[in-house]
Structure 1
Amino acid sequence: MNCIIVDDDPLSRQVLRDLVAKTDILQLVTECSTAVKAINVLNKERVDLMLLDIQMPEISGFDLLSNLERKPLVILITGHKEFAAKAFEYNVTDYLVKPIEFARFSKAIQRAHDLFTLSSGANTDGGSFYVKVSGSLVKLNESDILWIEALENYMTINTLKDKYIVHFTMKSLQDKLPADQFIRVHRSYIVRKDKIDSISDDEICIGEERIPVGRTFKKELNKSINLL
């Protein structure tokens, strides 16, 4: 993955540069000391991942993300833990607090790489995407998916053939699936519309599986079904 470092502190950039150099799946495009320089690079180069400091002069990392129409995967980096909640409002891949240990950095990069692989698979092969299972990439046909369930720090993709455990966020996976075929019915569930067998007030059935319907999702579900 092509990445850039955006941080106003030279020492921090050096640390990140060393971490990137130790990571085989990353290729450093350049370093930027300001958000303005980063914008120029993003407009000219293909960037898959941005390692972005939050606290920078003039334009902060949050301000930069707010002004990007199309942004790469983002790992936010800061010396302050209190920004964590706000960070994930920007749908970032991960949030690292300085000083950064290589093991924690590697985990964040692997998460970004998994999302990158999912995105690449979805874009290059319509109707299917790839997930990482036991170190291998497995192709999933969207038409085989029954429902997706979020469980703590992972998700299960339930298909006609098998169940797959993946480490994505619910939102990132929902964004990759076609909205005309999949719908979120609960904060922890996404279902494929044409696999729904029945709907009641507070649950839907897919085969023998009973899936709860959240109150905030019920209206959208009712709008999306074909009712005679």
Structure 2
Amino acid sequence: MARIYIVEDEPIIRQDLVFCVEDMGHEVIGQSGKFEKAHDEILSKKPDLTLLDVNLDSDKDGIDLGEILHQAKISFIYITSYYDKATVDRAKHTFPAAYVIKPFDEQDLKINIDLALMKLKKAGGFSSNKLFVKNNQDLVAVAPREIIYVEADDNYCKVHTDKGKFMLAHTLKKTEEKLMDKGFIRIHKSYLINFERIDIITEGMVHLDEVHLPIGKAYKTQLQEFLFTI
């Protein structure tokens, strides 16, 4: 669960964002449509992520606030109806985590929030790459690179590794939370994959070693964000 602050000058849209964020399981720690109030509360509360409208009911706009948040190392996503070249050029120099165009789709918003939070976790680093999975009464050490993919199995999940398969007594969502900062990405409601183990991506499929897994429509955009092509 992340602590999220919402900056939006339209009360109806702001409330809609609150509902969306809370439905995703996150906490809304504050909201405002005013530059000064948002500025003071965000710097004081230090949210994990800010959803930031470009147009504000103030002399300064959301991009002015975005510049301040960037300097304060507070991650933010622009949510705006403005996508003209001048506005986008101003916005990109504040280094937002994403730029979502209104009217936004809830699934698109969720994907962009998940990606922003994933980047935050990755930037924070971790002390050890070694993981442990339970095998009967033993704990087996597994490096993230040895995990090929994780498969949902009702309220359990199967971890497919170079050392064999292991059953975990919790859901794929819970496993995703533990692995998202270690190079893993959800490609389907039933599959979490090790990005480094991808060999080929074809239309609607990801190939990892000898395994071929489908890409869910809801996760296609998220996967594309991770791809670097030359």
- Partner Cα distance (2:19, 2:114) in 1: 17
Runs of 5+ unmatched residues, structure 1: 141-155, 159-164, 171-187, 189-228
Aligned-residue CA RMSD (Å): 3.5
> What percentage of aligned pairs have identical amino acids?
21
Q: Find the counterpart in structure 2 of residue 151 from structure 1.
A: none
- Partner Cα distance (1:61, 1:138) in 2: 29
3-state SS of paired residue (1:112): helix
- Partner Cα distance (1:137, 1:18) in 2: 25
3-state SS of paired residue (1:96): strand
1:142-181 aligned at under 5 Å gives the runs 167=225
Runs of 5+ unmatched residues, structure 2: 131-143, 150-175, 184-194, 198-222
Deviation string, structure 1 residues 126-174 (Cα, Å, up to 9, x no partner): 999x99x85434648xxxxxxxxxxxxxxx869xxxxxx995599xxxx
- Partner Cα distance (1:59, 1:169) in 2: 35
- Partner Cα distance (1:20, 1:39) in 2: 20
3-state SS of paired residue (1:44): helix
Structure 1 residue 85 displacement after superposition: 4.0
- Partner Cα distance (1:8, 1:169) in 2: 34
Q: Find the counterpart in structure 1 of residue 205 from structure 2.
A: none
Distance of aligned partners of 1:8 and 1:36 in 2 relative to their CA distance in 1, 3 Å threshold: same
Q: Find the counterpart in structure 2 of residue 67 from structure 1.
A: 68
Distance of aligned partners of 1:33 and 1:86 in 2 relative to their CA distance in 1, 3 Å threshold: same
Distance of aligned partners of 1:139 and 1:166 in 2 relative to their CA distance in 1, 3 Å threshold: farther
3-state SS of paired residue (1:28): strand
Q: Find the counterpart in structure 2 of residue 52 from structure 1.
A: 52
Distance of aligned partners of 1:54 and 1:126 in 2 relative to their CA distance in 1, 3 Å threshold: farther
Distance of aligned partners of 1:137 and 1:107 in 2 relative to their CA distance in 1, 3 Å threshold: closer
3-state SS of paired residue (1:67): helix
Distance of aligned partners of 1:110 and 1:65 in 2 relative to their CA distance in 1, 3 Å threshold: same
Structure 1 residue 73 displacement after superposition: 1.2
TM-score with structure 1 setting the length: 0.54
- Give the counterpart letter for 1:62 in structure 2: I
Deviation string, structure 1 residues 151-207 (Cα, Å, up to 9, x no partner): xxxxx869xxxxxx995599xxxxxxxxxxxxxxxxx7xxxxxxxxxxxxxxxxxxx
Deviation string, structure 1 residues 17-55 (Cα, Å, up to 9, x no partner): 12112112x211010121211121123213110000001
- Partner Cα distance (1:167, 1:96) in 2: 14
Q: Find the counterpart in structure 1 of residue 80 from structure 2.
A: 78
- Partner Cα distance (1:62, 1:101) in 2: 22
Q: Find the counterpart in structure 2 of residue 38 from structure 1.
A: 38
Say whether the 8 Å CA contact 1:157–1:166 is kept in structure 2.
Answer: no
Are residues 1:110 and 2:114 paired? yes
